[in-house]
Amino acid sequence: QEQPVESGGGSVQAGGSLRLSCVASGDSFDTSCMGWFRQSPGNERESVAAIGYAAGSEYYDADVKGRFTISRDNAKNRLYLEMNNLKPEDSAMYYCAADSCRQGWWLLRPVAFRNWGQGTQVTVSS
């Protein structure tokens, strides 16, 4: 797999919405597991959500569950993250990650993903 490429970040006010997109080239996209992670200055990278290739295989960090939705379009080799009711603490660089559904992907472990994008910045103001 080639490096994923994220887009869709920006600045919004609290309560607003953003939709992140990630394109990942390669023939194995439809059998890959994908994830979104985020990192703010001075903090470690943290999990946001992950999705497998089987229907219903979406997993979320407790901080975003109910506000964020992860989805994928295999025909377009794209991964999405719909973010609603954004809070200032959601501000971070958001990274797309991909791999071949290695051990721990459903636990949103960063080590389960070997292919990472460069990130897209999300800033939420109060």
Q: Are 24 and 52 in contact (CB under 8 A)?
A: no
pLDDT recorded at residue 1? 63
pLDDT recorded at residue 11? 98
CA of 44: how far to CAs of 13, 27, 37, 40, 70, in Å? Answer: 24, 32, 10, 7, 21
Per-residue pLDDT tens over the stretch 80-114: 999 999 999 999 999 999 999 888 898 899 999 99
Per-residue pLDDT tens over the stretch 14-56: 999 999 999 998 888 888 999 999 999 999 999 999 999 888 8
Q: CB under 8 Å to 55, separation ≥6 — which residues?
A: none
User: Distance (Å, rounded) from C-alpha 88 to C-alpha 86?
Assistant: 7
Of 2 and 107, the one with more pLDDT: 107
User: Distance (Å, rounded) from C-alpha 60 to C-alpha 68?
Assistant: 8
pLDDT recorded at residue 30? 86
